[in-house]
Amino acid sequence: MIRCISPVDGSVYAERPTLSAADAGAAVERARVAQSVWAARPLAERIELVLDGVARVGAMNDEIVPELAWQMGRPIRYGGEFGGFDERAQYMARIAGESLAPMVLEPGDDFFGRMIKRVPHGVVLVVAPWNYPYMTAINTVAPALIAGNTVMLKHASQTPLVGERMASAFHAAGIPDDVFQNVFLDHQTTSDLIAARSFGFVNFTGSVAGGKAMETAASGTFTGLGLELGGKDPGYVMEDANLEAAAATLIDGAMFNSGQCCCGIERIYVAESLFDAFVDKAVSIVEGFKLGNPLEQETTLGPMAQERFADLVRAQTSEAVMAGAKALIDPKSFPEDGGAYLMPQILTDVDHSMRVMREESFGPVVGIMPVKNDSEAIRLMNDSDYGLTCSLWSSDPERAEHIGDAIETGTVFLNRADYLDPGLCWTGCKDTGRGGGLSVIGYHNLTRPKSYHFKKA
């Protein structure tokens, strides 16, 4: 049984039975049979159906927003995820024709033609996370369907209603039931299906441990994997930065969604000359937050998705303070703190011996350190097992590019943070995973190249 325990009040919000091994296998077979028929439909038709499904999700937004609050705790004031959900799907639809078009080579006198086509993998399994359950799912669902794959979506147990909403919308748009299936699977059944080579491609967003389990299950099957796992994304504020913008954006990147963002800012390095002023601004911003029930309009920070996630951040923070870190946010400012409701915290006098600066927190806490120069900042930013994004703050793009070239990461932001641009490849390195979503690279990962070499007789 998949069970969602609401972080709002600890009640059971939703339950769904998981598929038996036999039923899961039957679902895969239906998807396999449906795939060739779906891929044979014109590209323009597949695009139209997917975008219609996306629009129908948007039409449900008034119901979806409070559902998200109940399932994973995001305050209703932020209006859900449809803006990003739609932006990503629309962009991938716009570039589909060019991205999937055959690459035609000069034929030469001896050839009828030579070209490389992009062909679908077949059945794609999407295993989506709870923190941005609609946007992370659509990253793969939309381009996979557009490219001619069939898709099975397995959503996190914390957000079981998301896949149901998407399936309902896509089916109402005319996408056949077997082409896009929402499935409830336990871990063992998922692993067994992957090990049985049920899928042409698997996309997983989640923990490092979950990614390792996916790789173990796929071992020897040669199944393609796209993995976006943990993160410990840094920000670096240089002496020529716009201080107001840097503080506002980096603290928002650290605290929005209660810190539960894939590319959230988890550590900040500030040029010594700006350090005190940056910290003052950061504290002022955080002191203005309102922690509480996400169903109330004035709430800016809701509960974390599960109490154990909040307890992990509490432990990291407590250990850091015991080791000499200074906590700057007064607990008296957030009397609602307790259980899954976690107050935000800013730490100074931190160093990389502390877990809070090394291990993923995925919560509303950030450590801030002064740095003497770019070399020290680069060394500290690279002192991590993860590499998803980094956020640089400067008025000098050449300097930023030089620093970015030296950072082990998937995306380098300048004067921005915590944003996914669908025109760029969403990718990571080190323990953050491998592969890439969105952009033309997303289509390349969701298809395989097939060469045609036609010589004259």
Residues with catalytic roles:
228, 262
Phi, psi of 346 (to 5 degrees): -115, 135
Residues making up the chain, counted from first to last: 457
Phi, psi of 267 (to 5 degrees): -155, 140
Per the CB < 8 A criterion, the answer to whether 377 and 269 are in contact is yes
Q: How many CB atoms lie within 10 A of CB 403?
A: 22
HEC letters along the chain: CEEEECCCCCCEEEEECCCCHHHHHHHHHHHHHHHHHHHHCCHHHHHHHHHHHHHHHHHCHHHHHHHHHHHHCCCHHHCCCHHHHHHHHHHHHHHHHHHHCCEEECCCCCEEEEEEEEEECCEEEEEECCCCHHHHHHHHHHHHHHCCCEEEEEECCCCHHHHHHHHHHHHHHCCCCCCEEEECCCHHHHHHHHHCCCCCEEEEECCHHHHHHHHHHHCCCCCEEEEECCCCEEEEECCCCCHHHHHHHHHHHHHHHHHCCCCCEEEEEEEHHHHHHHHHHHHHHHHCCCECCCCCCCCCECCCCCHHHHHHHHHHHHHHHHCCCEECCCHHHCCCCECCECCCEEEECCCCCCHHHHCCCCCCEEEEEEECCHHHHHHHHHCCCEECEEEEECCCHHHHHHHHHHCCCCEEEECCCCCCCCCCCEECEECCEECEECHHHHHHHCEEEEEEEEECC
**Neighbouring residues of 36: CB distance < 8 A, sequence distance ≥ 6:** none
* Token pair belonging to 205: 């967003």
